[in-house]
Structure 1
């Protein structure tokens, strides 16, 4: 075996360019495979560290009217009713989450922290269901009493340094003090429960008395979750079958007809984007497929170059066979060479992957690692991948080389047909270019859809509008803030509201006209706004006008969709009609009808929308800026805001940046496809360059003869380019239908989308041609201008 390695090492050194090209291509392919494996495995392992995870479920809500609405949350009283009525659960806990929590330390004036992951009001059984171990404290008692809290070790150090955090007090939202009774171990990165502060559920009443009450069956927040760990032997189907009995007993007649509760397995939460899942499994399978394609491209590269080198090594094989080497011994020799190349490539690939991991972590906002000590499965994957690559890359070339007849090899009578000929390499080049073209087309389609997402008319103004979150406060402070900001020269207009027209946070409620006993069988998206809302966001009135005042409920504004669903054939017919929203909380005449606008991402269709005046619910300040002086204006707003709310932290976000978060996962996928497309193209270019170099060497004398007989430079170049052009066209014909089918499936997710026109395919083809010409052109030109005297001297 040592002899095999010594000979292999000598051969690899003698063919340095061949070795370098193969190591470069394989290392890039393996590095990408390692990164993709790390990303996919990390995502697939979300929340799989909890004991009895196959018995942990979340209850979700489904409301079916003329459309189906899916909610990850449930009414707050559901948990109490469930445990009272049924005996299905071993443990059950309600958890209510609030994002962007303001935390201060009462004994340290002026110290404030904003925790983006928020806080969670949780019942004590939460820590029995989920495995978030305590570093200090008793999980059975830590949040059993009002005004108690647990925080992570990381936050304990952040807030109190080296002091013991147990017994310390934190203040949430400048309103309620909580005593720390336990310290959690730091939250792992592979969980959807990102909160690092858990507050006693009994204290939630001080946050929202209505939401905390046992009569709030009609109120559903997406962050109000109910988790259960079922008893052994109890199935989700049994619970789902029993839920209608609970609905019929506790909910009103209207909800009984439209509402359904079902259990969602813990393993489905991270991947189900119908609710609040982070990603869709099909994106992970798409990434995995890209990884496989990159490995295939690298292996194809190796096979292509190895078979192209076969004739060069024919006499070596003949001599070895004459001296007594068997086919098995020769096979081992060539496989050893392949293994050496692959091992060098794997080492280089691991280094490249390590260098790239910080970028991957920034892309996903995670803490992934390539440490094989921490992740033994990664080592296993590396070993299996290396075995597969060695076999796929080396098996066929080794078979080709070992079947040469020694007499023919020594006499130099072997031709291309003895090694599979050009047809084999044609197929391999077609495969490489086909993969590259599919990735290019995919990148162009996603990029075009993303551009459409950001430039499409959503029915409202989104450029030059900055959103500044408002703390819960009184109307006087809101009025003061608005008045002072409005006086700034760089401010065009300002509106106080709950959310922008399009938002991931929406409030659905029932709607009926005065005189009707029941709400219509569909829900309306209700937005609490002020009188300047339509002006700031550029909403277009097609009938009627704005609210009659800015302080009290003096009208309701509907969109076209809502008016049509109410049965009016003309928007003007709705003006003056009295509408009733949210039970009977909002009763007022319809003063205006605005043109439809998107209230979600472009994945969703436009829905019925109602705008109402309600100052107590304002949570955002929307400011329309003159962008020419935006920097100075934002600084002035910061000063005014901080003077108005000195106990809170100021922050802002441009509306177009906020809307871009709708497509955050698409942006990540686009970057992946673009990066891996470039890598696939580069690997293909390495192989193509090596192949052209080999062809030039093989055709050296032919080129010399042609030039002596009068061939021009263009004729010689076309000799190389003709075959390359045919291969590109065949690859294109194969790649187009596959890419069209895949990307058409992707676009089906969007209610408003681009069409895949011929321009995308033409662009992909031109890119491929340009890349091929750039790669092969120089080497072809160098061969074409070589003096025939040099190439024919041996003759």
Structure 2
């Protein structure tokens, strides 16, 4: 019996190939999107879940509660020891300090090989290897990283540096400053971990004993990880952390500083700190995948029931010959199964073809292979079964329910095959989804354009950043700057710590005008020479620029600094003394800068101070005039290489660095654009099914109208007014849904675009144009049919 079902199913599909192809195409699009979204969501949900003690691993984060609440994934350097010594809550505590874009050279190698590691290096305490499960392939886990100047590297780094040689005992020179002996090899870090460094150095090698006592400085790359004891709860540990500010801060600061525990499994998703993607985005994508799959099933249902009238006689004959309703139902399910299996095979091929593009876009290692994990084959099986019964059940019940006499007489009514009402509802649902996605695309794209074109308070165009090797040599830096300023095509050169807007920020406390207590808000420290303002075109609103100096003598502050002091006149702070970083840096305010955005639009503007100090010039920013770019950059490389022959030259454009602030937003935009296009395409297939159904139902009506003199435009309007009405209803439903959803999205931006009515008009306009093209073909075909054939239809 089962074999007979599938044999007849194949014959019916072969007989109606156009409809079968449309069904396969629509279902394959929906299933492929579901597969890709499942793989994407599953990949991100798997981050750092492979650690055995993942439920007990936490990171201590820092919060400042002043006029605003600000956060950092880092923690003061002495906090780790205080938590370990003051409480008996943690099994292990480990400090982790990372630095990006690090030069690693191999002293003693034949050609003195050099490597610029973009992900940098990390100084870690030995307990780090006990907290996390990064297997050690070579080396003694009990002694590794216990002594200064020891290093651990991954298999990939070992092969990259030493090829087939044994790396144990080899020497790495970091930033041409200190040598580290390789004491162990780690298995390659999995792709689904947020720790990207592949070179780990012993924490004892890290200079800065002052930092071990500084409770006021927080560097984002300085983390503290803890493994709580088995019987210690999260609430107990958080309660204990509240005691630290009371003990180690004074002068009102104990109310400002707050420390919290962040679960390891939250790190990848918490964008308030350094999370990669908000978990809500993943649920939104999952919902989109489900909707795309449902719209594909709706198409199948629409097209299948539109064909029902053509198959009425077949059903009538089968029933007269003794077929039961159950048999007819399973016959149609067999047809649906064949189509769905074909669609699943095509969908899997589409997913494999597009996956490399998505991996390049996301810089990820997502897989949709069937045999590497149990989740993907299980998901595919569930999807196939769900589609078979979602798409096939209703048409199967409709066909099986035909009365044999009426079927043989071709008197099956519209009501008996489901009528127009259900199909209208389904098409409205499809175009509601499409318009929500279109509105989302327009709003996200508009916000990204706003971020790119808005006045940031500084100039970001034609500025090149070239790193200064560490430790900074004042003489070499000045030589580099002077030589660069002589190049035709270079307008300004400044030595600095970082450009105005950067993801690497350093916040600390500030004392104003010899006040005994630190202010209740934090200040962002920036280091730059006297050319900083002119290079980035940052205007002064009061006072003057800093004078050339190798040390900290003078400060520039911004307008937000003045506002936080509750002063109305910027000039009032000029001439006042300030001290930052726990009284470590002192000087006089000589000018007030106009406010500029020092982070992305996701964050509020901060109080900022700019000071000169050669020891913190890690970057050289060069303002070009935009002419003869390649020639100028070639000269820059030559001069830099002459000045620092032992280092690897690299550079980046400032506007590219700004664009990285919105990397995830751009990725979400492209994903939504892709899925939006597919939603519209599937929606058009559904509309085609509805118009096909209407054309069959109105065949005689069209013939009568043409005999009575109706023109082709008049016939086209019969179909046009139907889909126009459906689009308007879909828009009325979609508009408030999109307004609510995109309002939630824009809340993540402190500075954002308004949601205007033009966006909604654009969305319905785009949908109308695309849908019109779909309707035009099928309705025109019905309109030009010969009346004599239409009138013969019974």
Q: TM-score, normalised by structure 1?
A: 0.97
Deviation at 1:781, TM superposition (A): 2.1
1:128 corresponds to: 130
CA–CA distance in structure 1, aligned partners of residues 243 and 557 of structure 2:
36
1:355-401 C-alpha deviation (Å, 9 max, x unpaired): 11111111211112111211211110110111111111111111111
Answer yes or no: is 1:75 the counterpart of 2:76.
yes
Deviation at 1:456, TM superposition (A): 0.6
Q: 8 Å contact 2:66–2:256 — kept in the other structure?
A: yes
1:496 corresponds to: 495
1:280 corresponds to: 278
1:111 corresponds to: 113
Q: 8 Å contact 1:21–1:687 — kept in the other structure?
A: no
2:149 corresponds to: 147
1:114-162 C-alpha deviation (Å, 9 max, x unpaired): 1222111111121111111112122222222221111111111111111
CA–CA distance in structure 1, aligned partners of residues 165 and 263 of structure 2:
40
Residue 324 of structure 1: which of 322, 325, 334 is its match?
A: 322
Residues 92 and 580 from structure 1, CA distance in 2 versus in 1: closer, same or farther, beyond 3 angstroms?
A: closer
1:619 corresponds to: 618
CA–CA distance in structure 2, aligned partners of residues 280 and 738 of structure 1:
20
Q: 8 Å contact 1:467–1:620 — kept in the other structure?
A: yes
Pairs within 5 Å for 1:150-169? 150-169=152-171
Q: 8 Å contact 1:18–1:690 — kept in the other structure?
A: no
CA–CA distance in structure 1, aligned partners of residues 332 and 559 of structure 2:
73
Deviation at 1:209, TM superposition (A): 4.5
Answer yes or no: is 1:192 the counterpart of 2:190.
no
2:54 corresponds to: 53
Deviation at 1:244, TM superposition (A): 3.4
1:537 corresponds to: 536
* Secondary structure in 2 matching 1:627: coil
CA–CA distance in structure 2, aligned partners of residues 790 and 550 of structure 1:
94
2:422 corresponds to: 424
2:42 corresponds to: 41
Q: 8 Å contact 1:510–1:520 — kept in the other structure?
A: yes
CA–CA distance in structure 1, aligned partners of residues 83 and 764 of structure 2:
60
1:678-732 C-alpha deviation (Å, 9 max, x unpaired): 1111112223234434433443443333222111121011111111111111111
Residues 244 and 687 from structure 1, CA distance in 2 versus in 1: closer, same or farther, beyond 3 angstroms?
A: closer
CA–CA distance in structure 1, aligned partners of residues 318 and 163 of structure 2:
72
Residues 167 and 548 from structure 1, CA distance in 2 versus in 1: closer, same or farther, beyond 3 angstroms?
A: closer
CA–CA distance in structure 2, aligned partners of residues 451 and 306 of structure 1:
44
Aligned length: 791
1:452 corresponds to: 450
CA–CA distance in structure 1, aligned partners of residues 53 and 510 of structure 2:
43
2:462 corresponds to: 464
Q: 8 Å contact 2:691–2:779 — kept in the other structure?
A: yes
Answer yes or no: is 1:173 the counterpart of 2:175.
yes
Q: 8 Å contact 1:339–1:390 — kept in the other structure?
A: yes
CA–CA distance in structure 2, aligned partners of residues 50 and 653 of structure 1:
36
Residues 586 and 322 from structure 1, CA distance in 2 versus in 1: closer, same or farther, beyond 3 angstroms?
A: same
* Secondary structure in 1 matching 2:98: strand
Deviation at 1:241, TM superposition (A): 1.5
Deviation at 1:555, TM superposition (A): 2.3
Residue 355 of structure 1: which of 341, 344, 353 is its match?
A: 353
* Secondary structure in 1 matching 2:659: helix
Answer yes or no: is 1:759 the counterpart of 2:744.
no
Consecutive unaligned residues of structure 1, counting only runs of 5 or more, are none
Deviation at 1:628, TM superposition (A): 2.3
CA–CA distance in structure 2, aligned partners of residues 240 and 453 of structure 1:
37
2:22 corresponds to: 21
CA–CA distance in structure 2, aligned partners of residues 647 and 201 of structure 1:
26
Residues 381 and 509 from structure 1, CA distance in 2 versus in 1: closer, same or farther, beyond 3 angstroms?
A: same
2:311 corresponds to: 313
CA–CA distance in structure 2, aligned partners of residues 461 and 314 of structure 1:
72
Q: 8 Å contact 1:703–1:788 — kept in the other structure?
A: yes
Pairs within 5 Å for 1:278-677? 278-472=276-470, 473-677=472-676
Deviation at 1:189, TM superposition (A): 0.4
Q: 8 Å contact 1:508–1:523 — kept in the other structure?
A: yes
* Secondary structure in 2 matching 1:597: coil
* Secondary structure in 1 matching 2:123: strand
2:210 corresponds to: 210
Q: 8 Å contact 1:273–1:279 — kept in the other structure?
A: yes
2:100 corresponds to: 99
Residues 186 and 136 from structure 1, CA distance in 2 versus in 1: closer, same or farther, beyond 3 angstroms?
A: same
CA–CA distance in structure 2, aligned partners of residues 726 and 39 of structure 1:
37
Deviation at 1:791, TM superposition (A): 4.3
Q: 8 Å contact 2:80–2:95 — kept in the other structure?
A: yes
1:714 corresponds to: 713
Q: 8 Å contact 2:217–2:581 — kept in the other structure?
A: no
Deviation at 1:253, TM superposition (A): 4.6
CA–CA distance in structure 2, aligned partners of residues 16 and 444 of structure 1:
37
* Secondary structure in 1 matching 2:469: coil
Q: TM-score, normalised by structure 2?
A: 0.97
CA–CA distance in structure 2, aligned partners of residues 788 and 300 of structure 1:
32
Residues 793 and 404 from structure 1, CA distance in 2 versus in 1: closer, same or farther, beyond 3 angstroms?
A: closer
Which range moved further: 376-385 or 780-789?
Answer: 780-789
Pairs within 5 Å for 1:668-707? 668-707=667-706
Q: 8 Å contact 2:218–2:508 — kept in the other structure?
A: no
2:728 corresponds to: 729
CA–CA distance in structure 2, aligned partners of residues 700 and 271 of structure 1:
56
* Secondary structure in 2 matching 1:610: strand
Aligned CA RMSD, in angstroms, stands at: 1.6
Deviation at 1:643, TM superposition (A): 1.0
1:740 corresponds to: 739
Deviation at 1:94, TM superposition (A): 1.3
* Secondary structure in 2 matching 1:62: strand
Q: 8 Å contact 2:61–2:260 — kept in the other structure?
A: yes
Deviation at 1:513, TM superposition (A): 2.8
CA–CA distance in structure 2, aligned partners of residues 605 and 58 of structure 1:
24
CA–CA distance in structure 2, aligned partners of residues 77 and 515 of structure 1:
26
